Structure 1
Amino acid sequence: MMASIEAGGTKFVCAVGTGPHDLRAVTSFPTTTPDETLAQAIAFVREQEELAGQSVSALGVACFGPVDLRTDSPTFGHITSTPKPGWGGTDVVGTFRQALGVPVGFDTDVNGAALAESRWGAGQGLDPVVYVTVGTGIGAGALVNRQLLHGLLHPEVGHVLVRRHPEDTFEGVCPYHGDCLEGLAAGPALQARWQRRPADLGPLRDQAVAMESWYLAQLATMLMYLLSPERIVFGGGVTKLPGLLPALRKDAVSIVNGYIDAPAATTDIDSYIVPPGLGDQAGILGGLALAQRAVSR
């Protein structure tokens, strides 16, 4: 039995199990202060251990970021320059290791989801695979040559600059860059631009979908050019807007304009840009996949 935590900026989701067909005791609670939230997660794991009569063999944490993933860094496992108040500098890995005494697999929430999708979901048998989430923020995780992509930091695709939609005069909401991709196309940007929640756009929905597709298709084509993935998985609450994924695919084909001579970029685009095979469980299963990797190492 392993434990998984999908540590989001809005809520934490916790579970125990071994995979998609064995996912137990899924529970969630709001992300408040670091001390309170991490203590709740630790209490959850201890309670599940008591109920099962056995200890977990590892914990996987798929975490909101930015985070320090350099294992030789003194701040490995810490959240770094997050806009989430109070969470900058939080030692996530150290706190869990000290409390639970088990190996802790740690990565970004989107890298965790990318790993889960590659094992059990829409990315099975494919490499590279990219998982994109569009919700409170915009992020992407990538599996390249069977390894999660790290480096100077980790992919931060939400903050790339994009061409503005011709009809968009919205200034953007990113506290760092204003009108970067996240500032123009994440959930808070949609709500601020249209003065409605994405789920309640009403007669504005078609216009909102067209603008959102314009921005996300630019991201999709950037990923195609930079990483050449065999599949791009788009998840997150915003991608559930009716008509968004079909519009995104169409715009991506238009942007590529025949430059990439592969069916995935033309006739097979519907099977190239896809929703998560694991649905809303991609993140929490990402935690389990990270726990499994921690044990195998």
Structure 2
Amino acid sequence: MHDAAYIGGIELGGTKTVFAIGDRTGTIVRRHTVATREPASVIADACAFFNTGGLHIEALGVGAFGPVVVDRNAADFGHLLDTNKPGWSGFNLMGALAQGIAAPAQLVTDVGAAAIAEQHLGALRDVDIGVYLTIGTGIGGAIVCNGQLLPALLHPEMGHIALHRLAHDRAPSTCAFHDTCAEGLVAGPAIMARFGASLDHFPPDSAEFALVADYLGQLCSNLVLTLSPQRIVIGGGVAHAPGLTHAVHQAIVRQLGVYGPRASAQPGYLCPPALAQDAGVIGAMLCTVSAAASHPAVIA
């Protein structure tokens, strides 16, 4: 791939899908956003974007919500597994894209793509091991270790880690698979179901805010004790609520007590993404560069 070549990126999220064309530095020159509807419509949108406009891409990176099979050697590579997103369970995402877009493609999760971008250009660029969490339509996570996404049997499903319910909390989980997982308790749809409004409608000193911060603090505390990351980045629509990052960090410190790495109590240990809403699609583009530089197989 020469310096002037263009690469493409797709960030397939639970609510919206972002298409972009840019260069190997992650600079976007053209982009388009659509709602994530049924698979056929989103694939048609992707083909229209990348096959028109006069910008030929030499590679395509895809960051997809999960669970999705990212192992290229698997018989069902590129397929979505059972998911809360209606119409997407079992869909052959990479097969459908290959039929409509003539470019070699790499696949990671949507949060994995964001982690790649933050590791190369953003808030994780100076750490050996870091975690990226996204709190939005669902909750997802990725682990970056020495510049690469940590390989796994499938990919990390941090949003489905079980939490301890607060004593007064009787709200049903919105996850179809688990009663007490983080996604079912405090992802965007769960917050709407339990409070009737998004979190940014509540002040940081409210009981609603405190509940969400406590549960996300539990999730992050589990990750601190399990992985001992040097930094955790928290992004996604829910994380945009003013004051949430600070409140979650306070919950982490409170829940860990004096146990755990001292650095986890320092300012900046839990932080927002430096690339904001562009992290996912930039990371999708950059995963094609990382793969080409190391080996031809997909990174996961």
Query: Gaps (5+ residues) in structure 2?
Result: 1-5, 296-300
Corresponding residue for residue 225 of structure 2: 225
**C-alpha distance in 2, partners of 1:21/1:15?**
10
In structure 2, how many angstroms separate the alpha carbons of the residues matched to 1:19 and 1:239?
29
Q: Does 1:141 align with 2:163?
A: no
Aligned to 2:9: 4
Letter in 2 for 1:221: S
Q: Aligned partners of 2:89 and 2:174: how far apart in 1?
A: 20
Does residue 1:173 correspond to 2:174, yes or no? Answer: yes
For 1:28, the equivalent position in structure 2 comes to: 33
Q: CA RMSD in A?
A: 1.7
Q: Provide the rounded CA distance (Å) in 2 between the counterparts of 1:83 and 1:246.
A: 29
Structure 1 equivalent of residue 270 of structure 2? 273
* Structure 1 residue 293 displacement after superposition: 2.5
The answer as to whether partners of 1:57 and 1:295 remain within 8 angstroms in 2 is no
1:178-217 to structure 2, matched below 5 A, reads 178-201=179-202, 206-217=206-217
Aligned match of 2:298: none
Structure 1 pair 205–79 and aligned structure 2 pair: CA distance change class (3 A): farther
Alignment of 1:80-119 (within 5 A): 80-119=81-120
Give 1:246-257 correspondences, 5 Å limit: 246-257=246-257
Aligned residues of 2:61 and 2:105 also touching (Cα < 8 A):
yes
Q: CA deviation at 1:282?
A: 0.8
Shift of 1:94: 2.1
Contact 2:135 2:238 (C-alpha < 8 Å) held by counterparts = yes
> 1:226, CA displacement in angstroms?
1.2
How many Å apart are 1:130 and its aligned residue? 0.8
Residues 80, 93 of structure 2: 8 Å contact kept: yes
> Please, what TM-score do these two structures have when normalized by structure 2?
0.91
Q: 1:164 to 1:19 in 2, by over 3 A?
A: farther
1:259 aligns with 2:256: no
Under a length normalisation based on structure 1, what TM-score does the superposition of the two structures give? 0.92
Contact 2:111 2:133 in 1 (8 A): yes
Unpaired segments ≥5 residues, structure 1? none
Shift of 1:204: 8.9
Q: Report the secondary structure of 2:58's partner residue.
A: coil
Aligned residues: 289
Task: Name whichever of 105-114 and 78-87 sits farther off.
Answer: 78-87
Residue 290 of structure 2 is aligned to residue 289 of structure 1: no
Residue 39, structure 1, aligned to residue 56, structure 2: no
Does the CA-based 8 Å contact 2:63-2:109 persist in structure 1? yes
How far the C-alpha of 1:198 sits from its partner, in A, is 2.8
* Matches of 2:210 and 2:64, distance apart in 1: 31
Instruction: Using the aligned pairs only, state the percent identity.
Output: 38
> How many Å separate the matches in 1 of 2:87 and 2:167?
38
Q: Deviation string for 1:203-235 (max 9, x for gaps)?
A: 697212111110111111111111111110000
Corresponding letter in the other structure for 1:33: E
Find the counterpart in structure 2 of residue 129 from structure 1.
Answer: 130
How far residue 175 of structure 1 moved from its aligned partner, in angstroms, is: 1.1
User: Displacement, 1:265?
Assistant: 1.9
Asked whether the 8 Å contact 2:228–2:261 carries over to 1, the reply is no
Give, in angstroms, the shift of residue 261 of structure 1.
4.1
Instruction: Tell me if structure 2 keeps the 8 A contact 1:159–1:177.
Output: yes
> Per the alignment, do residues 19 and 242 of structure 1 end up closer, same or farther by CA in structure 2, a change over 3 Å counting?
farther
- Residue of structure 2 equivalent to 1:235: 235
The answer to whether the Cα contact below 8 Å between 1:134 and 1:234 also exists between their aligned partners in 2 is yes
| Aligned equivalents of 1:272, 1:250: Cα separation in 2 | 11
